[in-house]
Structure 1
Amino acid sequence: MAERAALGRTARKSAPRAEHAHWAPAADRLDPVAILEDQATTRVPELVPIRHGRMLASPFAFYRGAAAIMAGDLDGTPDSGLTVQLCGDAHLSNFGLFASPERAHIFDINDFDETLPGPWEWDVKRLAASFDVAGRHRGFSRPERRQLAQTVARGYRERMRGSATSRVLAAWYDRVDADQLFELLRRAHTENRLKKDQVDRLGVGVAKARLRDSARAFRKLVYVVDGELRIRPQPPLIVPLADLGPAGRTRSDDEETVREILLGYRSTVLQPNHPLRDFEFVDMARKVVGVGSVGTRSWVVLLRGRDNLDPLLLQAKQAEHSVLEKYLPPSEYEHHGERVVRGQRIMQSASDIFLGWERVEGFDGVSRDFYIRQLTDWKGSVDVDVMQYPVALLYARLCGETLARAHARSGDRMAIAGYLGGSDTFDRAIARFSERYADQNDLDFDAFREAVASGRIHADTDH
């Protein structure tokens, strides 16, 4: 272990920590709008304008959908040569609360569409820059934004150093649950870093997340037609399968296809005697989700257990090539749903028992990869639009530490900790990088708005 830590310190020679501060757009940098146009070619055409409309809301909304743009910008940045399982899109809105299989309420990364092994620095930079971008959206001062990004890096560095000196299993099982979050809030109030009303609002948010389960989603998305459960249409955001299939297909045809898909998917979940065997298929609908994922094919699948009062809602989400694959070695998994699921299982402290994958042939005859999970299970996330600076500062620390825990499970935590060291050299460099990249994001957002205004791309701002 001492040799591994020394390896990390040696890596500073080829990639000095202070060098992470330096970034400027490459002379041959691709047109950011062209990158988005290229992504649109594999997505559902009628949904792409919705994606563009959501990205048009603010520079932060644009940043959320611009993982492919930033991947190209990170290529060629200083690299210690130490590889981890990357999230690939580690911005602050891709962290949140959810339920573990043991029904603990935990905080972790919750989006892995772009996951791939690569330089750990890439995730840290995307996360830290997201706080600078979000800080601008909230009107925070330049020193406040710099402090947010630096706090992300410090949280990451100190947690990684803690993992490096922990007992092996302690580092592996390390996680943050709801009780620990409440303790963080109480401590922040005691130390006068948060006001009581801020603590109360955050506490209520955590408590409300426990109410977001399949039963709540069921009440919101499902209704009864002639005594049968059906997913409620809300076009173009929710469109039932019956309204999307080609002419000549019957409902029984669709049901048989979905049953075959679920049977294949069952073989990819971890438990051999899975509760899926006690559920039957009822209905299915295409559902628009998120910002960056809009336009990829995403389905809500309604299942029934004992009766209509025993529902389960699954989400089947299309998995495409990671945006990182143009710049890193390709995934070892041919199936991109498997790539996502394997990466998620490595990085998360606990994962949904319904997490699995399947390859599906669409009505157009094209085979596509999907990963499957519960639609919602005690999920909660921060609301960037109302986030105050003291809360953002606490959240920056929490996200930085959480990312370090995830990287420690797949990478060499001793070597990364050795590289980072005990000083704040890396932290300050990441803060400077974040400011420079947020400047570029503002320019890219302006170019995007001009493309919409000129009619080059179409944006639907009504959905």
Structure 2
Amino acid sequence: MSRGSVPFGDGADGVQEPPVVLDWIEATNPKDRMLMGTIARRRAPLGSHAMWHPMPNRAEKLDLLEEQSAIRVQELIPLRYARMSVSPFTFYRGTALIMASDLAATPVSGIPVQCVGDAHIANFGIFMSPTRHLVFDVNDFDETLPGPWEWDVKRLVTSVEICARDRGFDKATRRRAVQECIRSYHASMDEFAQMDNLDVWYANLDVEKTLQEYTKNGMPSKTLRKAVNKALSKDSNHAAQKFGELVDGEPRFRSDPPELVPIDELKGYDHEGPLDVTIRTLFDRYKDNLYADRRQVLDSYHRYHDAARKVVGVGSVGTRVWVMLLSGRDVNDALVLQIKEAETSVLERFVGRSRFRTHGERVVQGQKVIQTTSDVLLGWTSMTTPEGLRKDYYVRQLWNGKGSIDLDHAGKEGIINTARMSAWALAHAHARTGDAMAISAYMGDDDTFDNAIVTFAKQYADQNELDYEVFMDAIKSGRLPCAK
């Protein structure tokens, strides 16, 4: 079980030890596993999860943002802050490190799972399975690392509260959305706790079946249907058409700075070596890490045409993200790959280092155990710069039936349905990688835990608004650069 919090400082070997230590004692038979979950309440009573009290030295949380920005592409930092400045919700999406540092001071049951690490509602969505079925699941794994399952739950449920505020919903609607989210997680975990291990592993949230179920139960979701229709059109050929053009008969990425910049237009990367060589090297090493059948598919796309730097997301702005344009049978048979830099997980300083050698492999291996089914071309790569710095990356198809829920325009039922599905997906990730019986038993048969999480979500959403004000003041004062 958890030994609780220990001081954050240097260990005997000079390496910083994490303040949260998960020392779970595993049991093998169902009765003991459920008993262990119940006993865990002694360490972290259910009601204790409602508490949120800022630490006395919390005032300079912006230091954490600046710490992240210091190792990213500097010319993109003003864009990062601009995207975060749109609303308290976009700010929240870019502050996973701040929340991780706050959660490190909260109670944990000690039951470990493979955490998503940044499990906010916008990081769940639609993608295409290898069987060409659309499924709903987690779709962002940059921060994944083994850790406390409660942290993922609190980040997700809080994001629902913040998103609902952003949409201008009244208090009753916001409370309903948050309650439905945690109830879905709780009920789903209870179901997984009763299932055989392989049944848990193969469970998935088929989007079409979910839409039919919602309609049958009088909960039609125009928001989800819209996302499905968009996802069906997103593949590599459409990506090549959207982001590329023919130049003298040769496919090239079009220039749309700062969002998309072909590598022959980029400046300031000389210290990393010729970009074309860098990207080809990353690609070759990525292929070496794939299973033979995946390499065979990739080898069929034998023509390399172009590469560019792409800006993605909110929290990821400033990380190095490359896209490669390849073709197979002819130029109309395109494959667009994304090669994204993998940084240190925001959880690492609080729960310890990954057991994998590189952060690219950490992301990929974490995704494979969390996600119902992953991109067949998912892999990792890395290289060392001329200055001796190792850069880690992971690789996937840029578009693989990937569809995001339009949270900016979703109605009440759209947000609530998305919250329910996201909670199911999160519970599934935790059940696949942790002890579903222990977690289910820990939460119990009543709504004590659920109510505590609802209370926490409201309190931390208030804290997020205060942090957002500090962030905006820092932009106005000139401390933080912001693109106009």
Settle same-fold status: TM greater than 0.5.
yes
Higher relative contact order (CA closer than 8 Å, sequence separation 6+): 1
1:218 aligned residue: 240
- 1:64–1:57 Cα change, 3 Å: same
1:23 aligned residue: 52
Q: In the TM superposition, what is the alpha-carbon distance from 1:117 to its structure 2 partner? A: 0.3
Q: Of 256, 266, 269, which residue of structure 1 is paired with 2:290?
A: 269
Give the whole-Å Cα distance in 2 for the aligned partners of 1:229 and 1:7.
Answer: 59
Q: Which sections of structure 1, spanning at least 5 residues, go unmatched?
A: none
1:230 aligned residue: 252
- 1:173–1:351 Cα change, 3 Å: same
Give the whole-Å Cα distance in 1 for the aligned partners of 2:351 and 2:294.
Answer: 37
CA displacement 1:327-371 (0-9 Å, x = unmatched):
111111120000000100010010001111111234766321000
Give the whole-Å Cα distance in 1 for the aligned partners of 2:178 and 2:67.
Answer: 31
**Moved runs in structure 1, 4+ residues, more than 3 A?**
199-202, 245-249, 253-260, 270-273, 361-366
Q: Contact 1:270 / 1:353 at 8 angstroms: preserved in 2?
A: no
Give the whole-Å Cα distance in 2 for the aligned partners of 1:247 and 1:414.
Answer: 50
Amino acid in the other structure paired with 2:475: V
1:244 paired with 2:244, answer: no
Q: Secondary structure at the match of 2:324?
A: strand
1:125 aligned residue: 154
Q: Of 91, 106, 109, which residue of structure 2 is paired with 1:62?
A: 91
Q: Of 284, 301, 308, which residue of structure 1 is paired with 2:324?
A: 301
Q: Percent identity?
A: 45
- 1:96–1:271 Cα change, 3 Å: farther
Give the whole-Å Cα distance in 2 for the aligned partners of 1:44 and 1:188.
Answer: 48
Give the whole-Å Cα distance in 1 for the aligned partners of 2:223 and 2:145.
Answer: 36
Give the whole-Å Cα distance in 2 for the aligned partners of 1:270 and 1:407.
Answer: 26
1:147 aligned residue: 176
- 1:273–1:429 Cα change, 3 Å: closer
Amino acid in the other structure paired with 2:406: D
Moved more, 100-109 or 284-293: 100-109
Moved more, 55-64 or 391-400: 391-400
CA displacement 1:358-411 (0-9 Å, x = unmatched):
112347663210000000111112111112112222221111111000110100
Amino acid in the other structure paired with 1:172: W
1:12 aligned residue: 41
1:324 aligned residue: 347
Q: Of 302, 309, 320, which residue of structure 2 is paired with 1:286?
A: 309
Q: In the TM superposition, what is the alpha-carbon distance from 1:156 to its structure 2 partner? A: 0.8
How many residues in Structure 1 have an aligned counterpart in Structure 2?
A: 452
Give the whole-Å Cα distance in 1 for the aligned partners of 2:292 and 2:137.
Answer: 22
Q: In the TM superposition, what is the alpha-carbon distance from 1:143 to its structure 2 partner? A: 2.8
Q: Secondary structure at the match of 2:106?
A: coil
CA displacement 1:33-64 (0-9 Å, x = unmatched):
22111111000000000000000000000000
Give the whole-Å Cα distance in 1 for the aligned partners of 2:259 and 2:399.
Answer: 17
Q: Contact 2:294 / 2:377 at 8 angstroms: preserved in 1?
A: no
What is the root-mean-square deviation in Å for CA atoms of aligned residues? Answer: 1.9
- 1:255–1:286 Cα change, 3 Å: closer
Moved more, 288-297 or 166-175: 166-175
Give the whole-Å Cα distance in 2 for the aligned partners of 1:39 and 1:377.
Answer: 29
Give the whole-Å Cα distance in 2 for the aligned partners of 1:50 and 1:335.
Answer: 28
Q: Contact 1:271 / 1:353 at 8 angstroms: preserved in 2?
A: no
Q: In the TM superposition, what is the alpha-carbon distance from 1:179 to its structure 2 partner? A: 2.1
- 1:363–1:46 Cα change, 3 Å: farther
Q: In the TM superposition, what is the alpha-carbon distance from 1:254 to its structure 2 partner? A: 5.3
2:80 aligned residue: 51
Q: In the TM superposition, what is the alpha-carbon distance from 1:229 to its structure 2 partner? A: 1.2
Give the whole-Å Cα distance in 2 for the aligned partners of 1:294 and 1:270.
Answer: 31
2:163 aligned residue: 134
Q: Contact 1:146 / 1:432 at 8 angstroms: preserved in 2?
A: no
Q: Contact 2:294 / 2:376 at 8 angstroms: preserved in 1?
A: no
Amino acid in the other structure paired with 2:165: R
| 1:46-125 correspondence runs (5 A) | 46-125=75-154
Give the whole-Å Cα distance in 1 for the aligned partners of 2:343 and 2:138.
Answer: 19
1:404 paired with 2:427, answer: yes
Amino acid in the other structure paired with 1:17: L
Q: Contact 1:151 / 1:427 at 8 angstroms: preserved in 2?
A: no
Q: Contact 2:306 / 2:326 at 8 angstroms: preserved in 1?
A: yes
Give the whole-Å Cα distance in 2 for the aligned partners of 1:170 and 1:246.
Answer: 51
Amino acid in the other structure paired with 1:220: K
CA displacement 1:426-454 (0-9 Å, x = unmatched):
11100000000000000000000000001
Moved more, 70-79 or 136-145: 136-145
2:208 aligned residue: 179
1:156 paired with 2:185, answer: yes
- 1:60–1:38 Cα change, 3 Å: same
Q: In the TM superposition, what is the alpha-carbon distance from 1:32 to its structure 2 partner? A: 2.4
Give the whole-Å Cα distance in 2 for the aligned partners of 1:158 and 1:201.
Answer: 24
CA displacement 1:63-98 (0-9 Å, x = unmatched):
000101100110021111100000000000000000
Give the whole-Å Cα distance in 2 for the aligned partners of 1:428 and 1:270.
Answer: 46
Amino acid in the other structure paired with 1:390: E
Give the whole-Å Cα distance in 2 for the aligned partners of 1:147 and 1:449.
Answer: 30
Q: Secondary structure at the match of 1:397?
A: helix
Give the whole-Å Cα distance in 2 for the aligned partners of 1:130 and 1:273.
Answer: 36
Moved more, 382-391 or 37-46: 382-391
Q: Contact 1:245 / 1:363 at 8 angstroms: preserved in 2?
A: no
Give the whole-Å Cα distance in 2 for the aligned partners of 1:343 and 1:391.
Answer: 29
CA displacement 1:183-239 (0-9 Å, x = unmatched):
2331242xxx45xxxx44532431221111111111111111122111111112111
Q: Of 320, 334, 338, which residue of structure 2 is paired with 1:315?
A: 338
- 1:383–1:262 Cα change, 3 Å: same
